[in-house]
């Protein structure tokens, strides 16, 4: 039995959900999102509560049960409050700035990196060493943050690079003479 899948997803006030077949559509104050579940689970909405139940006892049905419930819970959170990832840039001369829909990153490479921001996500750079990514889709916000971080991961000796704000960088000791 899935501990996560058993929990019903409660819809806060201002959020509505409608099920048609295997597709659930959630409307909230910020956005509208939809998710199509596999045939291994059944979706039901009653009394402002979304429940997900497996259609069998196979391993795949149990996997889809917990995953579908989590995706629906993330959609409810996204349409009400949204998701946010914060990145910090450490290093001499490393900086970021927004120019229209493009994030310009100076990361010690021979050229500046121009990162095109996808639709559905807003990226801001309040300081040259800070990047804030916000959106209603948890997967998309996390993927954009990971793609930006990929350009210069933090290194363990001086900690230079792009890191998540709450990330701890394990520091190594350099060579000794």
pLDDT in tens, 145-165: 999 999 999 999 998 999 999
| Residue range 11-20, pLDDT digits in tens | 999 999 999 9
Residue 49, phi then psi, degrees to nearest 5: -135, 130
Residues 114 and 140 in one domain: yes
Q: Residue 99 in contact with residue 35, Cβ under 8 Å? A: no
Domain boundary among 80, 106, 131: 80
Residue 172 lies in a domain: no
| Residue range 125-144, pLDDT digits in tens | 999 999 999 999 999 999 99
Give pTM, 2 decimals: 0.87
Number of separate helices (H) and strands (E) present in the chain: 3, 13
- The Cα 6–Cα 130 span in angstroms is 39
Share of the chain above pLDDT 90, in %: 80
Residues 139 and 97 in one domain: yes
Share of the chain above pLDDT 70, in %: 99
- The Cα 57–Cα 1 span in angstroms is 9
Residues 73 and 21 in one domain: yes
β-pairing, 49-54 with 102-106? unpaired
How many domains does the chain divide into? 2
For residue 3, what pLDDT is reported? 85
Residues 67 and 95 in one domain: no
Residues 87 and 114 in one domain: yes
- For residue 109, give the CATH number of its domain: 3.90.930.12
- The Cα 90–Cα 83 span in angstroms is 24
């Amino acid at each position: 039995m899935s501990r996560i899948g058993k929990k019903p997803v409660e819809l806060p006030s201002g959020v509505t959900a409608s099920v048609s077949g295997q597709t659930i559509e959630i409307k909230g104050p910020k956005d509208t999102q939809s998710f199509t579940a596999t045939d291994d689970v059944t979706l039901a909405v009653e009394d402002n509560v979304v429940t997900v139940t497996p259609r069998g006892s196979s391993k795949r049905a149990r996997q889809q049960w917990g995953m579908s419930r989590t995706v629906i819970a993330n959609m409810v959170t996204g349409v009400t409050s949204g998701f946010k990832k914060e990145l910090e840039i450490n290093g001499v001369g490393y900086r970021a700035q927004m120019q229209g829909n493009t994030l310009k990153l100076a990361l010690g490479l021979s050229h500046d990196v121009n990162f095109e921001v996808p639709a559905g996500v807003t990226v801001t750079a309040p300081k040259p060493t800070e990047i804030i990514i916000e959106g209603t889709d948890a997967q998309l916000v996390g993927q954009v943050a990971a793609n930006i971080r990929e350009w210069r991961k933090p290194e363990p000796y001086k900690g230079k690079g792009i890191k998540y704000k709450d990330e701890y960088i394990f520091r190594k000791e350099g060579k000794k003479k």
